[in-house]
Structure 1
Amino acid sequence: MHPLLTLKALLLPCACLLLLGCASPPTAVKVEQLLKTGQSWIGTPYTWPHGKPEFTVVKITLPANTALKWHTHPMPNIAYVVAGELMVETEDGLHKTTLKPGQVLPEMVNTSHRGTSGKAPVELIVFYAGTPGMPLSN
């Protein structure tokens, strides 16, 4: 192999790597507040459970076109929609909302409700703030 060909073959990848390194500098850290509240999405004020705090974070994947069973939560919790579209409604039919990816929902405490997925699966991250031994839902 000709030495110039070898040199050219090495210079091209090096030039590409150099250009990649010269790309715009990393941007500053961005902080976006998604939620700050003391009440659920239907306006009920939260009360903090008594006792030693215990935080639980779960990932929930709900298949497309699926409704969860009616349930309640005994503690404050916040749901973050990672993927899909989730419709949440109260059992009494008075409240209904639809969430899309990137949105959060401060869930209700001791109010029966359920979530229903749309045409695509839903992926949620839910943050629970309770006490040791407290169930996440009933």
Structure 2
Amino acid sequence: MINYRTLLLSILSLVAFSCQSKEPIPDQPSSELLTESYLAWNGDSLPAYPSGKPKISIVKVTIPPHSELPHHYHPVINAGILLTGELTVVDVKGNVLEMKAGDPIIEVVNTIHYGKNNGDIPAEIVVFYAGAEGMEIVVKESNSN
């Protein structure tokens, strides 16, 4: 007769061993989880996805040296990765996130914020938006330039 407890423990041990983090093998495809969270960068909980027909948008934003984006908010969940340069992200609550090339971000939703590039090269960030048909992905603050 099979001892199911022993069999289950053996399977779990095998799975745990095979899921351990391993060094990538040179010249082989690999993947790396850059970030994963239920929270935005400032600690706010992410909202539920909107109802309706899903719409994914991917946008590359370039912020010239020594300039900043207008104050704005996103009504949809979004995340990105800074490709080049440096970027400081500031929200209306006073939270600040300093980013450098290669850093990921899970952006705030429905919270006014802006990004500024204090560096000497353009900051380029690719952002992925998970919205719905008919929804805007960026809304400028009404009293912002």
TM-score normalised to structure 1 length = 0.77
- 1:6 corresponds in structure 2 to none
- 2:4 corresponds in structure 1 to none
Instruction: Return the offset for 1:26.
Output: 5.6
Q: Distance in 2 between matches of 1:134 and 1:27?
A: 42
- 1:89 corresponds in structure 2 to 90
- 1:137 corresponds in structure 2 to 138
* 5+ residue gaps, structure 1: 1-24
Question: What is the number of residues matched between the two proteins?
Answer: 113
Alignment RMSD (CA, Å): 1.4
- 1:60 corresponds in structure 2 to 61
1:49-95 Cα offsets, whole Å, 9 max, x none, are 111211000111110011111101000000210000000001232x0
Instruction: Return the offset for 1:118.
Output: 2.0
Structure 1 consecutive aligned stretches of length 4 or more whose deviation exceeds 3 Å? none
For residue 42 of structure 2, what is the amino acid of its counterpart? Answer: I
- 2:29 corresponds in structure 1 to 29
1:15-63 Cα offsets, whole Å, 9 max, x none, are xxxxxxxxxx962212111111122111222221111211000111110
- 1:75 corresponds in structure 2 to 76
CA contact (8 A) 1:70 1:91 kept: no
Please give the secondary structure, in 1, of the residue aligned with 2:79. Answer: strand
Q: Distance in 2 between matches of 1:44 and 1:92?
A: 11
For residue 112 of structure 2, what is the amino acid of its counterpart? Answer: S
Instruction: Return the offset for 1:107.
Output: 0.4
- 2:111 corresponds in structure 1 to 111
Q: Distance in 2 between matches of 1:87 and 1:38?
A: 22
More strand by share: 2
Instruction: Return the offset for 1:136.
Output: 1.1
CA contact (8 A) 1:84 1:118 kept: no
TM-score normalised to structure 2 length = 0.74
Question: Rg bigger for which structure?
Answer: 1
